[in-house]
Amino acid sequence: MIWTVLLLVNGILFFLLLSSRSRSKREPPLDKGFIPWLGHALDFGKDAAKFLTRMKKKHGDIFTVRVAGHYVTVLLDPNSYDAVLQDSGSLDFSRYAQVLMDRIFKLRLPNHNPTVEKAIMKQHFQGKSLTYLNSTMQRNLQALLTSETPPNQKDWKRNGLFNFCYGLLFRAGYLTLFGGEQNNNGADTKQIYKEYRTFDDLLTKMARTTLNSGEKRVAGGARERLWELLSPTGLSESSSPWLRHYRQHLREGGADTDTQTKAMLLQLWATQGNVGPAAFWLLAFLLTTPEAMKAVRREFNRLSLNTDTTQAPTLDPRQPTPVFDSVLEETLRLTAAPFITREVLQNKTLRMANGQEYDLRQGDRVCLFPFVSPQMDPDIYLEPETFKYDRFLNGDGTPKRVFYKGGQRLKYYTMPWGAGSNACVGKPFAIDAIRQFVHLVLTHLEVELCEPESGLPAVNTSRHGFGMLQPEGDLFIRYRHSIGNNIL
């Protein structure tokens, strides 16, 4: 008994010692929270947007919080974001990314070289090679949608819109990028999707290491089955050029087969985890905002389709669609909530836009959360909680790119894709996939809400910080092939 007490006292003293950090005048306001070590971890995990908005009210645009033993300096002034984004010398992107890689994917790459990997990705996802991916994705989306709603079937089908969008885009994306590989079990895309969703539902808890033992088993099981489904028995000619190139790079770096398979799951997440949820929110906003739906349909009806291929007619990616683009920008403003996290490699002074300077400590993390500002900032956007489809359009129908905060023009008025040298490599591919998908759904399906009165589902707040938000529950729709439209 006495030993237990002594140990406890010791433990408490140790905690006090650890939490004895105090703030110097040149550092941002420090808020450690009341719980030793954990600090604000619980509030942070439950709803980061709510927590950080509260801290912003209390401390201003920059402050340091303790989260599960780490000190995280949060910066919420978009006019000062460049001070973080442009300093890749002192602020490092890949270390924290590697922590997450290990926690979620159990992946440790030998000779990991993020620069080369990104160059490979750019080569295939940007510029000329994108033609191939854009059109393969279109073909896969069309084929899946046709098998989902055969033209000769007139009965309504019922599904959750989130499951419908995520399922179709995930499977089309999988076929486009990974599809040609021969897998152990002749992997069926529906099964991969199902396992992936189980895994995805527990992903934030894996990242925060807050899985309970039951969840650990479920997550581990899904991960094992995904590894099985993604493990190659050899490279086939029909997997995407990017995947072949990437795998060759892994082999040359000395990654064994198991490690290569783990890397495949990481890439599956990076390439498929955000597109489906983004398309869901976009269609959900359109289905609940009649004037937005009307404007997008009007724009789509005026587009000429690309009929000079042997395939069914497709949207030409070069045709401007300013109304759709504004709808997408507005959707992402409301539902893209990534943290942009960097590790402080060496002590550094951060200079804010207003001239104020703050010292950052080596070993801490810096975190931008553009969802709170600029995206939901009432100083920038009128009624920021409301979906306004034409928010990113000028009066004359051209794209609107000029926004102000405190009289100063903003370089970053919304940041769903991150920014700076680590911004999203897949942006043009993702935009094309979402646009093609929405166009296909609106022109070839009849879609109705099952309960038009019930409105949008609530946001699952535990995903704040992990890219695209997801709904709690789903928005139920019925749909069928639209009569009189036989293009599919």
Work out whether 362 is an interface residue with ligand NAG (CB under 6 A): yes
List the one residue from 103, 157, 361, 478 that touches ligand NAG (CB under 6 A).
Answer: 361
Select from 31, 47, 201, 474 the one that contacts ligand NAG (CB under 6 A).
201
319 near ligand NAG, judged by CB under 6 A: no
**Residue 424 is labelled as binding a ligand:** yes
Least spacing, CB of residue 323 vs ligand NAG, in Å: 14
Round to whole Å and give the CA distance between 171 and 179: 9
Q: CB burial class (10 A; 0-12, 13-18, 19+) of residue 285?
A: buried
C-alpha torsion angle, residues 97, 417, 465, 433 (rounded to 10): -100
Partner from ligand NAG, ligand HEM, none binding residue 422, C-beta < 5-8 Å depending on class:
ligand HEM
Using CA atoms, how far apart are residues 172 and 121, in angstroms rounded to an integer?
19
Contacted by 475, from ligand HEM, ligand NAG, none: CB < 5 to 8 Å by type: none
For residue 146, the SS3 value is helix
Does residue number 19 form part of the binding site for ligand HEM (CB under 6 A)?
no
227 Cβ neighbours under 8 A, 6+ residues apart = 258, 261, 262, 265
Three-state SS at 379: coil
Q: Does 132 participate in binding ligand HEM (rule CB under 6 A)? A: no
State the binding partner of 131 from ligand HEM, ligand NAG, none, CB within 5 to 8 A by kind. ligand NAG
270 binds, among ligand HEM, ligand NAG, none (CB under 5 to 8 A by kind): ligand HEM
Query: Binding pattern to ligand HEM, positions 404-423, x when CB under 6 A?
Result: ------------xxx---xx
Query: Cis before residue 374, ω within 30 degrees of 0?
Result: yes
Which residue carries 């995407």 as its tokens? Answer: 240
| Binding of residue 460 to ligand NAG (CB under 6 A) | yes
Of 319, 295, 308, the C-alpha closest to 436 is: 319
Q: Mention every residue, 6+ apart, whose C-beta is less than 8 A from residue 168.
A: 141, 144, 145, 148, 276, 437
**391 in a known ligand binding site:** no
Answer whether 134's CB lies under 8 Å from 317's CB.
Answer: yes
Tell me which of ligand NAG, ligand HEM, none is bound by residue 271, counting a contact when its beta carbon lies within the kind-specific cut-off of 5 to 8 angstroms. ligand HEM
**Residue 271 interacts with ligand HEM (CB under 6 A)?**
yes
Q: Considering the complex, what minimum distance in angstroms separates the CB of residue 183 from ligand NAG?
A: 26
Angle between helices 189-201 and 213-230 (to 10 degrees): 150
- From 98-106, 162-170, 242-250, 427-435, span contacting ligand NAG (CB under 6 A): 427-435
Q: 230 and 178 in contact (C-beta within 8 Å)?
A: yes
Q: Does 245 bind ligand HEM (CB under 6 A)?
A: no
Interacting residues toward ligand NAG by CB under 6 A: 130-131, 134, 201, 204, 317, 347, 361-362, 428, 431-432, 435, 460, 462-463, 472
Interacting residues toward ligand HEM by CB under 6 A: 114, 118, 121, 125, 270-271, 274-275, 278, 336, 338, 340, 416-418, 422-426, 429-430, 467-468
